[in-house]
Amino acid sequence: MNKAKEPFKFYTRLHLTELTGLRATTLNQLVSLIKQVPGSSIYHHTHRFLQQHQFLSPEPPNDFAYWVSEVLGEKELGERLASIDITHFKRIHDLRLRIISVLEEYLGQERFAQLKFSREGEEFHFLKSVSFVIPTDYLVDNLADFAEVLKKITFDSIYFHIFEARLRLEKETNDFSNWIEHSLGDKVLADELGALDPYTRTLEDLRVAMINVIEKRMFNR
Amino acid sequence: MIKLEDYIPIVGQSVIDDLRLIAARLKDKKIQNINSTSVGGGVAEILTRMTPLLQELGVDARWDLIKGGEQFFGVTKKFHNALHGHPAELSKKDFEVFLETGQRNIDELETAADIVFVHDPQPITLVKKKNNNRWIWRCHIDVSAPDEKVWNFLMDYIVRYDAAVFSAPSFSRRLPIRQFLISPSIDPLSDKNKELPEAVINKVLEKYQIPQDKPILTQISRFDRLKDPLGVIEAYQEVKKHIDCRLILAGGGASDDPEGAMIFAQVMEKAKGDKDMHILLLPQNDIEINALQRASTVIIQKSIREGFGLTVAEALWKAKPVVASNVGGIPLQVTHKYSGLLCHSIDGAAFAIKQLLNSPAYALRLGENGKEHIRNNFLITRHLRNYLLLFLSLYHQEDVVYL
């Protein structure tokens, strides 16, 4: 079994939700506030569902899509927002620009959409995530041990290494692929893991899919 | 005494391990909770359960009370109503009474802990004693549409805190201090939520002469206009045209509330002559409430306004399909068509109930989804974790904190 150049340390991430006090009742307000709020707010609203509704995935994937569909009744816009492929974005800034362009394009086409407003109590409230990153006791230096730990770590830990590391900490790829490519020297496996779309699975399904890919690779070598 | 390890079979070992990991970072910090009462009400209930668990985690947590007379609590009751948006007659004298009692507590109460955690408006003026320590104001009230006079009065104090905490996004406003969202929770080991043997459930139903021969719809709420018990009866009557069922309306709180007594009388009048309607004016009896919820086919919470609506979390924790109004904290607990059905009207409620009664597999799935949602987001262990992270956040301004 190949020994890694550097061991992999598993971390976990816990979060607290901070309120901004900002709220939107119309699509124009939503766009305007999406332009102003901190990146941690865009991150929160595109990732909250993944953690809070593990059993619901693959839908609905983000708060903006949910609000425009369910509260404003703009189903088509909801679908356009829901289908933004977050895996294509390496920075929150770029994801924010894409969301804004989808909203503005729709507002340009559907002039009556800007007349819609939410009922009292159903406004869109902008929140943001504060993450606390904590090291766990798990440290591995080969693929077999890595797969074993992957079977027992918490969803929070998987979440941190897959979602938070790639997009929020702007590491280009997820931590697992990064370590497998650079410390274990297995680019094929790294790419296979990187190609799994984490946004269309529950965290448990993602865990199972990753373990399958890794075990298949170990078996075939 | 309930211990942390008692929660492991419910939430898993890792959740408890995480609590220990975070608590270790607070070992040298003294935390002081302050509120106005040791019994009665949600705040005292939470602190009663939370303080020993924090101590078990090795956090030096204590709980102190302010003192106040009848006049002071008369004023704070008016504040409470005003913050909920009800018009309140507050005189200059009322504000003077509030400030005088506040000053006496400032003089008498020691507040030297590293973190002082003040709950609700009653002790809010204590912040005048703020030194080099950190202070948090925890608002448990729905302040989405407060009386501006009272809110502005309190704002003079709120802004002196390091952070404020609210239960739902709609309760927040633009503030010059950090504000966090921490929802309340239920305790899965309390009498109201723990598993019950069938025999206990059956005995409670026998006591109240409720046969289990047809589907049971239930709303657990005090008899209050804002809980819309009359609307629930109308929804039940609409459902009953198509599906034979029973309705339980159970709750307390009418005796000391003139409006509640009137609503109760109206409910009794509307229920007259229908043997399938069971109107129960219950004393505080958590086991009985638990049994009624567990015996139900569908649970309703058709509130017109709602602070948070933890009865919804209680129902979902029992994997019951829920039909609830889209108000207050309810949409945080129920995602429409995924973990329950949200409604905006009596007709909407009736339609949703019929859907659930006619599609048991769908109802089962919503209930099971709901239970998992509560397990992940609304149990006391999550609440405890949020409080520990809140304390840590007072020492970190950044959005990503490495511990």
Domains of chain B, earliest start first: 4-185+379-393 (3.40.50.2000), 198-377 (3.40.50.2000)
- Mean per-residue pLDDT of chain A: 90
Does A132 contact B389 at a Cβ distance shorter than 8 Å?
Answer: yes
User: Which residue, B318, B278, B368, is CA-closest to B192?
Assistant: B318
Return the top range by mean pLDDT from B113-117, B323-327, B331-335: B113-117
User: Which residue, B364, B318, B370, is CA-closest to B340?
Assistant: B370
Q: How far is CA B165 from CA A126, B66, B81, B115, in A?
A: 15, 20, 19, 14
Would you kindly state where each structural domain of chain A is located, as residue ranges?
A: 8-13+129-220, 22-128
Cα three-residue angle B80-B189-B39, rounded to 5 degrees: 35
User: Which residue, B69, B78, B40, B82, is CA-closest to B253?
Assistant: B40
Average pLDDT over residues A192-196: 92
Is this complex's ipTM strictly greater than 0.95?
A: no
Q: Is A133 on the interface with B (CB under 8 A)?
A: yes
Q: Is B281 on the interface with A (CB under 8 A)?
A: no
pLDDT tens across B320-329, in order?
A: 999 999 888 8
Reduced to 3 states (helix: H, G, I; strand: E, B; else coil), residue A15 is strand
What CA–CA distance (Å, rounded) separates B144 from B124?
A: 19
- On chain B, the residues whose CB falls within 8 A of the CB of A12 are 18, 21
H helix intervals, B109-176: 148-158
Q: Is A137 on the interface with B (CB under 8 A)?
A: no
Q: Is A1 on the interface with B (CB under 8 A)?
A: no
Q: Is A161 on the interface with B (CB under 8 A)?
A: no
H helix intervals, A110-221: 143-152, 155-159, 175-182, 187-195, 203-220
Does B180 contact A18 at a Cβ distance shorter than 8 Å?
Answer: yes
Q: What is the pTM (predicted TM-score) of this model?
A: 0.88
Q: Which residue has the higher pLDDT, B195 or A173?
A: B195
Average pLDDT over residues B259-273: 91
pLDDT tens across B54-92, in order?
A: 999 999 999 999 999 989 999 998 998 899 887 778 999
A44: CB partners within 8 A, 6+ apart: A17, A63, A127, A128, A129
Does B369 contact A129 at a Cβ distance shorter than 8 Å?
Answer: no
User: Which residue, B195, B188, B197, B194, is CA-closest to B4?
Assistant: B188
